[in-house]
Amino acid sequence: MAGNSFGQVFKITSFGESHGAGIGVVIDGCPAGLELDMELLNTELQRRRPGQSAIVTQRKEDEAYALLSGVYQGKTTGMPLTIFIPNSDQRSKDYDHLESTFRPSHADMTYQAKYGHRDHRGGGRSSARETAARVAAGAVAKMILNKIGVVVKAGVTQVGPIQSSTDVKNIDWSQVEQNIVRCPDLKIAKEMETLIKATKKAGNTVGGRITCHVTGVPIGLGEPVFDKLHADLGKAMLSINAVKGFEYGSGFASIAMNGSEHNDIWTTLDGQATTLTNNSGGIQGGISNGMPIYFNVAFKPVATLMKDQATITDTGAPAVAQGKGRHDPCVVPRAVPIVEAMAALVLVDHYLRDKVARM
């Protein structure tokens, strides 16, 4: 009801605030007997970590975490698995001037109106710091996907007006971690990096796009009608801070197409049903068909600028939202592991849900 849980079988509950004790997640429904790959968990948290490069926020969180429950002798027990990441390097004082000020395009006004009061420090619960919980839970989901051969890869394919190809057939995902922008095209990554640095210098921010590609998905994941696989992927992505749009397969481009060019023709390859094209993005009728799944996610420019903006206070008085604190000039480099985490959570949940679909 209050919206802090996600998933039905592999169900996560996220908690914590930007400047509180820390960020945590309870996974209820993680199957017993999974060996925890702590290196993978560390890697994912490091990929999302602030302060990792010159183009992201300089808040320094070491992302040390504690396993509070659900593991015995390195394996999950089937009990709730809880990961807690204490906050460090908070500078709550940076936010004192914002206690009664509504920052433009932030959640300040809506939280105040809905709840009557709010923890304004660092955005409280509305801060993207919450996504650390998603990445931690997503890492556990990836451990399960690893067992069944599902690979989730995402990368930045647009920053401001600079685009790299979204043709997933031809993307070399191994390049993503080779540059600080996390664009799979190193040449374009360089251009993006230059743009982000210039934007930062100007105290401004810029939007971006992430493309995600999932291979090895078993046939049959997804439920008809409301919980179509792409509907759950879409909700997962749209729930990430700053996301404004989602498209999968042929996406918005399909609007201008005719059925005769858009339809994916069935054939067989090595005795397996396969399609000649993949405009369906690996999903038909809401259910995976064994072809790669791919989708794009649009991120708006970060709302916090390093320049002053006119605004109002919670009593309607004119005010200035000052350009202070430490923030990302562009969210997408750090959002790549978040997109992968949310995709992994959806896929594991539907993988488990599918186990009860047939006699």
Tokens in use for 218?
Answer: 């078993």
Q: For residue 247, which phi and psi values (nearest 5 degrees)?
A: -145, 145
d(CA 194, CA 183): 13
Encoded amino acid at 6, one letter: F
Contacts of 235 (CB under 8 A, 6+ apart): none
Which segment (44-52, 168-176, 181-189, 310-318) binds its own copies by CB under 8 A? Answer: 310-318
The answer to the question of residue 216 lying near its own copies (CB under 8 A) is no
Contact flags string 106-145 toward its own copies, x per CB under 8 A = xx-xxx-xxxxxxx----xxx---x-------------x-
Q: Using the minimum distance from each CB to its own copies, give the nearer residue, 45 or 128.
A: 128
Q: Using the minimum distance from each CB to its own copies, give the nearer residue, 59 or 134.
A: 134
Tell me how far, at minimum, the Cβ of 67 lies from its own copies, in Å.
7
Q: Which of 50, 122, 155, 207 binds its own copies (CB under 8 A)?
A: 207
Q: Using the minimum distance from each CB to its own copies, give the nearer residue, 23 or 174.
A: 23
Degrees to nearest 5, angle at CA 226 with 220 and 230: 55
Degrees to nearest 5, angle at CA 245 with 339 and 329: 65
Contact flags string 40-59 toward its own copies, x per CB under 8 A = --------------------
Tell me how far, at minimum, the Cβ of 244 lies from its own copies, in Å.
5
Calculate the CA dihedral of residues 93, 99, 103, 107 and round it to 10 degrees: 110
DSSP letter at 205 equals -
Task: Of 250, 336, 249, give the one whose Cα is nearest residue 293.
Answer: 249
**What is the per-residue burial (b if ≥16 Cβ within 10 Å, else e) of 218-248?**
eeebbbeeebbbbbbbbebbeebbbbeebbb
Q: Using the minimum distance from each CB to its own copies, give the nearer residue, 174 or 268.
A: 268
With contact defined as beta carbons under 8 Å apart, do 215 and 173 qualify?
Answer: no
The answer to the question of residue 93 lying near its own copies (CB under 8 A) is no
DSSP letter at 285 equals T
Q: Using the minimum distance from each CB to its own copies, give the nearer residue, 174 or 259.
A: 259
The answer to the question of residue 213 lying near its own copies (CB under 8 A) is no
Contacts of 172 (CB under 8 A, 6+ apart): 184
Which segment (9-17, 42-50, 52-60, 183-191) binds its own copies by CB under 8 A? Answer: 9-17
- Quick one: how far is CA 212 from the chain centroid? 10
Q: Which of 168, 228, 294, 344 binds its own copies (CB under 8 A)?
A: 228
Tell me how far, at minimum, the Cβ of 318 lies from its own copies, in Å.
8
Q: Which of 135, 168, 192, 231 binds its own copies (CB under 8 A)?
A: 231
The answer to the question of residue 247 lying near its own copies (CB under 8 A) is yes
Q: Which of 42, 43, 53, 77 binds its own copies (CB under 8 A)?
A: 77
Contact flags string 186-205 toward its own copies, x per CB under 8 A = -------------x----xx
Which segment (36-44, 45-53, 168-176, 207-215) binds its own copies by CB under 8 A? Answer: 207-215
Contact flags string 332-351 toward its own copies, x per CB under 8 A = --------------------
Contact flags string 255-274 toward its own copies, x per CB under 8 A = xxxxxx-xxxxxxx--x-x-
Q: Which of 37, 40, 53, 67 binds its own copies (CB under 8 A)?
A: 67
Instruction: State the alpha helices, DSSP H only, in 103-152.
Output: 108-115, 131-148
State how beta strands 162-163 and 208-215 pair: unpaired
Q: Using the minimum distance from each CB to its own copies, give the nearer residue, 90 or 174.
A: 90
d(CA 99, CA 166): 42
Tell me how far, at minimum, the Cβ of 24 lies from its own copies, in Å.
6
User: Can you spell out the DSSP letters for 271-283?
Assistant: TEEEESS-TTTTE
